[in-house]
Chains A and B, each alone.
Chain A
Amino acid sequence: MTGFDLHRAAAVARKEVMHILRDPFTLALVLGLPVVLVVFFGFAIDFDVKNLALGVYDRDNTRHSRQLVSVFESSGYFLPGAVDSPAAAARGLDSGRYSAALLVEPGFGRGLGGGGRARVQFIVDGTDNSKAQAVLGYLPGLTGAALRKFGAAVPADPVPLKTRFMYNPELNSRWFVIPGLAVIIIGLLSILMTALTVAREWENGSMELLLSTPLRPAEIIAGKIAPYVGLILAGVFFVNLVARFGFGVPFRGSHLLFLGGTVLFALASLSQGIVISVVTRQQQLAMQLSMISGLLPSLLLSGFIFPVESMPVFFRYFTMILSPRWFMEIARGVTIRGAGAADLALPLAALAALCALLLAAAFKKFKTDLEP
């Protein structure tokens, strides 16, 4: 009666597999959803900020001012459209019709031609973080292009700067987005799947049945988790197939290392679900807790899009309790950079620690429940 019996755990696992197979709708969803979502958002997410509507008020209307507008137009970042007054430009910004406005006052061309200095007003809509910073980033390049177009003595770059982007020379967004997306989806689905399994048994009263058997808590937990690890590995396999052959995302590192990281991450997320399940004992509450602890934190704080390094110090430490933050580093590191186990020692160790912690919590809580 003491210790851990593999056969008994396997029996629980078999029962869980039957549960999963009995609901083919859910099974298909769990296997198919990651692929569908990765394909969809692989196409949808693009960080390029281009074709921005630009309101242009050109009261100067000289050769130079027209040249300036054409610089904006040919950059590909902006779609200039003329407005008749600064007030119209302001209204366009208010309504979101324009993301930025360019105001050229009279005397601009004369100032340039006369060897003086000419300034134009450039107004940026500061409500949209995903655009404003990009627009500001374009301005230095546009200034240089405009100066060349005016034939002004450009303060030529005295030191040429040559940039080389390693691992992703074309800066293809998909290589960045798809591994990250896979991490988020796999993690969330894992939490959601196990969060309900134990709670369901409590709600249906079948938990009493399980408890009256000679099963130990560890055996029940292991049996509940094992089938889902299999499901998740299958899901990850399909996602990787689509990423590599559908989107051409490279896989440069060791498959074994990636597999190890995936298993750790799956175990951590599944255990998180079990902890929620054991604590709540009720499906609705379990779902609410999993969504709250899973959805927004993993989307916003894992480094998927918003960089962890840019967060204030306290939050950089705070993100360390999130398993997707660590697996994000591992997944991107192994696939894109071809990082080895030594490079990823910290994220791997952190993930293993989180995994052990969550498993222990699930086990302990479960055990106290059993022994009145």
Chain B
Amino acid sequence: MKRTLLAFIRKEFAQALRDPRMKLILFVMPMIQMTVFGLALSSEIKNIKLASVYAPSDAAARRLAQRFTASGWFLPVAAEGLAPEDLVVSGAADAALVFPAGGFARQAARGRGGVQLLVDGTSVTRARSVEAYARAIFAAHAAAEAGLPVSAAPFGFDVRIIYNPEMESPVFMVPGVMGMIVCLVTIILTSMSLTRERELGTFETIVSAPLENYEILLGKTLPYIVLGLANAALVIAAGFFIFGVPVRGDLWRLFSAALAFVITTVSVGTLISTVSKNQQQAMLGGFIFLFPAVLMSGIMYPVENMPALLKPVVYANPLYYFTTLLRNILLKGGDHAVFVFNMSALAAMAVAAGAAAYGRFRQTLN
């Protein structure tokens, strides 16, 4: 019996790898996506179009406006001839700095030199950053004009950023993108496989083979688990060699995290493919799983602030645990308690999803 199973697994493997498109999906596409997302994404707000509105003779205002440009966050745009509101409304500027009409220095000396900052609030994250940058620049400017170094304040923080001291975007983004790619690849490979065989009629041939139910399921999933692991190894290697994302923790921890995650997603994909009546439903099922999983992985926005009512969805998201593990093992060197907790969660999910897929699968067979 065992020989039949092995032969069956070998056959499924050969069948999966024979398709040249499989290599494209497994190896070429992830490299392209890793490179694009790793290089392109950054949550830091830069290149803000700023219009500064002041009289041409106002030297003090010009000095402050130049400080904004010199900060590197802002790009100056011409402000002539338009009301500051209109500059923002037309989208020509993301923000406008409006100095008092009577001369900035004179009004400031009288204690009413209020400067107005108009910010386009359409992008909430950008608007917040613009205000924070402006406050920092104002404080630095005031200190410099008074001839004081900023550090002369009686109190201050010595800030140290650990694990990613240069705040490099790829180090932030790449571990998260890795998880997303492995999740995407395993789901799209498995979520249609059985539905397709049923629709094409090749499923009957397999069922008539001298194999137990669990053996068929094993033969249908094991190749994808192995391929998914290979994919995970590839993206981690790419992160390390191309983006210099450190691998500070143990490789066996990384391997077991990837194994548990891949088993979970392959099982979820298989479950989708057994539940769906046709390939269109299978595809929608894949979408319904992938979309929330990616959005709630903790990469796009902090998931800890979600309303308590919706939190259980985060805790049911395998990608959340995998992302946590990847960040912890790669960047922090792997904390044992974190590993045990998140691994247990992933392992429980792998078992639950595997059992559900098997249960559904048996039902379809009979």
A-B contact pairs, 15 of them (CB 8 A): A40-B310, A47-B302, A96-B335, A112-B155, A126-B165, A150-B155, A155-B153, A159-B108, A185-B291, A283-B192, A287-B283, A295-B287, A296-B180, A310-B42, A315-B40
Partner of A126, one of B118, B161, B307: B161
The answer to whether B290 touches A291 (Cβ under 8 A) is: yes
Partner of B132, one of A37, A91, A137: A137
With A48-B305, A117-B154, A163-B131 known as contacts, the answer to whether A307 contacts B125 (CB < 8 A) is yes
Partner of A163, one of B47, B91, B117, B154: B117
Q: How far is the CB of A256 from chain B (nearest CB, A)?
A: 19
Answer whether residue B1 sits at the interface, using C-beta atoms and an 8 A cutoff.
no
The answer to whether B306 touches A46 (Cβ under 8 A) is: yes
Q: How far is the CB of B13 from chain A (nearest CB, A)?
A: 18
Answer whether residue A5 sits at the interface, using C-beta atoms and an 8 A cutoff.
no
Partner of A192, one of B25, B40, B148, B284: B284
The answer to whether B124 touches A310 (Cβ under 8 A) is: no
Answer whether residue A188 sits at the interface, using C-beta atoms and an 8 A cutoff.
yes
Answer whether residue B296 sits at the interface, using C-beta atoms and an 8 A cutoff.
yes
Contact with A along B284-301 (1 / 0, CB 8 A): 101110111011101111
With A44-B296, A159-B138 known as contacts, the answer to whether A126 contacts B162 (CB < 8 A) is yes
Q: How far is the CB of B327 from chain A (nearest CB, A)?
A: 5
In the complex, residue of chain A having the shortest beta-carbon distance to the beta carbon of B277: A25
Q: How far is the CB of A227 from chain B (nearest CB, A)?
A: 14
The answer to whether B33 touches A296 (Cβ under 8 A) is: yes
The answer to whether A133 touches B44 (Cβ under 8 A) is: yes
With A129-B173, A155-B146, A163-B131 known as contacts, the answer to whether A26 contacts B281 (CB < 8 A) is yes
In the complex, residue of chain A having the shortest beta-carbon distance to the beta carbon of B157: A122
Q: Which residues of A contact B (CB under 8 A)?
A: 23, 25-26, 29-30, 33, 37, 40-41, 43-51, 91, 93-96, 112, 115-133, 136-137, 139-143, 146-147, 150, 152-153, 155, 157-169, 171-173, 175-176, 185, 188-189, 192, 196, 200, 203, 283-285, 287-288, 290-292, 295-296, 299-301, 305-307, 309-312, 315, 318-319, 332-333, 336-337, 339, 343
Answer whether residue B8 sits at the interface, using C-beta atoms and an 8 A cutoff.
no
Tally of contact residues, B, Cβ under 8 A = 123
- For B187, the chain A residues whose CB sits under 8 A away are 291
In the complex, residue of chain A having the shortest beta-carbon distance to the beta carbon of B132: A137
- For A122, the chain B residues whose CB sits under 8 A away are 157-160
- For A299, the chain B residues whose CB sits under 8 A away are 294-295, 300
The answer to whether A124 touches B118 (Cβ under 8 A) is: no
Assembly CA distance A291 to B180 (angstroms): 12
Partner of A196, one of B151, B157, B280: B280
Partner of B167, one of A96, A112, A132, A332: A132
- For A116, the chain B residues whose CB sits under 8 A away are 154
- For B125, the chain A residues whose CB sits under 8 A away are 47, 176, 305, 307
Q: How far is the CB of A345 from chain B (nearest CB, A)?
A: 10
With A167-B121, A339-B91 known as contacts, the answer to whether A283 contacts B155 (CB < 8 A) is no
From 203 to 260 in chain B, residues with beta carbon under 8 angstroms from any chain A beta carbon are: none
Assembly CA distance A27 to B349 (angstroms): 30
In the complex, residue of chain A having the shortest beta-carbon distance to the beta carbon of B49: A309
The answer to whether A161 touches B134 (Cβ under 8 A) is: yes
Q: Which residues of B contact A (CB under 8 A)?
A: 21, 25, 29, 33, 36-37, 39-48, 85, 88-91, 104, 108, 113-129, 131-132, 134-136, 138-139, 142-143, 145-146, 148, 151-165, 167, 169, 171-173, 175, 180-181, 184, 187-189, 191-193, 196, 199-200, 277-284, 286-288, 290-292, 294-296, 298-307, 310, 313, 324, 327-328, 331-333, 335, 337-338
With A160-B114, A166-B118, A315-B39 known as contacts, the answer to whether A196 contacts B160 (CB < 8 A) is no
Please indicate which of the listed interface residues B39, B129, B304 has the most CB atoms of chain A within 10 Å of its own CB. B304
Q: How far is the CB of A358 from chain B (nearest CB, A)?
A: 20
- For A332, the chain B residues whose CB sits under 8 A away are 122-123
Please indicate which of the listed interface residues B121, B187, B292, B296 has the most CB atoms of chain A within 10 Å of its own CB. B121
Leading 7 A-B pairs by shortest Cβ distance: A126-B164, A168-B121, A129-B172, A165-B121, A315-B40, A126-B161, A176-B124
Q: How far is the CB of B250 from chain A (nearest CB, A)?
A: 14
- For B117, the chain A residues whose CB sits under 8 A away are 161-164
The answer to whether A43 touches B307 (Cβ under 8 A) is: yes
The answer to whether B88 touches A288 (Cβ under 8 A) is: no
The answer to whether B142 touches A159 (Cβ under 8 A) is: yes
Q: How far is the CB of A235 from chain B (nearest CB, A)?
A: 14
Q: How far is the CB of B315 from chain A (nearest CB, A)?
A: 13
Assembly CA distance A319 to B301 (angstroms): 21
Assembly CA distance A164 to B97 (angstroms): 10
The answer to whether B115 touches A159 (Cβ under 8 A) is: yes
Q: How far is the CB of B270 from chain A (nearest CB, A)?
A: 14
The answer to whether B154 touches A115 (Cβ under 8 A) is: yes
Q: How far is the CB of B332 from chain A (nearest CB, A)?
A: 5
The answer to whether B328 touches A128 (Cβ under 8 A) is: no
The answer to whether B306 touches A44 (Cβ under 8 A) is: yes
The answer to whether B121 touches A291 (Cβ under 8 A) is: no
With A127-B164, A129-B172 known as contacts, the answer to whether A96 contacts B156 (CB < 8 A) is no
- For B89, the chain A residues whose CB sits under 8 A away are 166, 337, 339, 343
Partner of A287, one of B43, B118, B138, B192: B192
The answer to whether B139 touches A164 (Cβ under 8 A) is: no
The answer to whether A155 touches B284 (Cβ under 8 A) is: no
The answer to whether B332 touches A127 (Cβ under 8 A) is: yes
